[in-house]
């Protein structure tokens, strides 16, 4: 089931206490919304927020994918969250405070029970483990391989967050201090065959130029999308993680050139000043949605 997860360019956090803001996420063009029951909800408000989020999931319409960040599974709140929101319309669960593969296995088992309860196929709901500690980041590959439903795994290195505190780096606008970390986590995710890895996040709401540069850096590394915290960030992220018309046109020309060369018995050819072969054509076909 995990290989069939759709690519998501933008995943926008929405507080679990503000489910009415889902309309804003859709209007911004977010590919997915993440209703947050963890950090965005004070302890006293969690039961009410859980009810509101469950209602929102049950009544969700439209094409935007819907995720829920539950509370950690080291207490009853997280398990109650899962039971309430694991409904047919839910695309995935964002699992915080993951320390290792055992946390993923527990979440996977609980989700399987919830899916059976609602008559859903096993693996219907994706699982997105958040790597927020040094131990989790070091074990990214094992965490990624722990369950087939793991998807969208990546390094989320927002300013002042759990990862900065855990690693001890000093955040900078150009992201130099986390470049190696984001690259290594991406390699672990790819090696584990996790579909559609996403990175994140940019916390300066007004700095859209900084957001664009950070998104472009993540796309260059090989990420397929980013987590966002504000609707104004969504159009920038969507643009960066979408191929431009010029890129699409070049892919089509490259494929046509390689096909013509192969029909004539040639392999590698010169195309617009570069040497290309079937490997480059396969990459172009994948970018156009034609598969490998």
User: Is pLDDT at 164 greater than 60 in this prediction?
Assistant: yes
User: Is pLDDT at 1 greater than 50 in this prediction?
Assistant: no
Ramachandran region, residue 222 (left: φ > 0; alpha: ψ -120 to 50; beta: rest)? left
The pLDDT-based confidence of 243 (bands split at 50, 70, 90) is confident
Residue 277's pLDDT is 86
Residue 68's pLDDT is 98
Element housing 32 (H / E):
strand 32-36
Mean pLDDT of the chain: 93
Question: What domains can you pick out in the chain, each with its CATH number?
Answer: 2-242 (3.20.20.60), 246-287 (no CATH)
Residues 290/2/228/242 CA torsion (nearest 10 deg):
0
User: Is pLDDT at 290 greater than 80 in this prediction?
Assistant: no
Pair type for strands 198-199 and 126-129: unpaired
- Decide: 65 and 76 in contact? Cβ < 8 Å: no
User: Is pLDDT at 46 greater than 90 in this prediction?
Assistant: yes
Max Cα distance, the chain (Å): 71
pLDDT tens for residues 82-141? Answer: 999 999 999 999 999 999 999 999 999 999 999 999 999 999 999 999 999 999 999 999
How many angstroms from the chain centroid is the CA of residue 96? 14
The pLDDT > 70 percentage for the chain reads: 98
Question: Residue 201 to residues 101, 106, 213, 230, 233: CA-CA distances in angstroms?
Answer: 24, 27, 12, 10, 10
């Amino acid at each position: 089931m995990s290989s069939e997860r759709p690519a998501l360019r933008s995943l926008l956090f929405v507080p679990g206490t503000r489910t009415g803001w889902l309309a804003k996420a859709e209007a911004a063009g977010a590919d997915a919304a993440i209703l947050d029951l963890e950090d965005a909800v004070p302890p006293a408000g969690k039961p009410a927020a859980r009810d509101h989020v469950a209602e929102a999931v049950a009544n969700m319409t439209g094409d935007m994918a819907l995720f829920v960040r539950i509370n950690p599974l080291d207490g009853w709140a997280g398990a109650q969250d899962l039971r309430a929101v694991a409904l047919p319309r839910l695309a995935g669960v964002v699992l915080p405070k993951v320390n290792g593969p055992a946390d993923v296995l527990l979440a996977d088992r609980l989700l399987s029970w919830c899916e059976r309860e609602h008559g859903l196929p096993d693996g219907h709901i994706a699982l997105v483990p958040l790597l927020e500690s040094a131990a989790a980041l070091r074990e990214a590959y094992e965490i990624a391989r722990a369950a087939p439903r793991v998807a969208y795994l990546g390094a989320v290195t927002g300013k002042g967050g759990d990862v900065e505190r855990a690693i001890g780096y000093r955040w900078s606008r150009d992201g130099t201090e986390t470049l190696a970390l984001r690259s290594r986590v991406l390699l672990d995710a790819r090696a584990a065959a996790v579909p559609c890895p996403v990175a994140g996040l940019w916390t300066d709401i007004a700095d859209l130029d900084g957001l664009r540069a950070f998104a472009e850096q993540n796309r260059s590394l090989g990420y397929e999308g980013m987590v966002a915290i504000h609707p104004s960030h969504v159009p920038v992220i969507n643009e960066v993680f979408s191929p431009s018309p010029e890129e699409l046109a070049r892919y089509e020309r490259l494929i046509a050139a390689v096909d013509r060369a192969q029909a004539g018995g040639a392999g590698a050819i010169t195309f617009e000043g570069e040497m290309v072969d079937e490997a480059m054509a396969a990459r172009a076909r994948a970018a156009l949605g034609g598969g490998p």
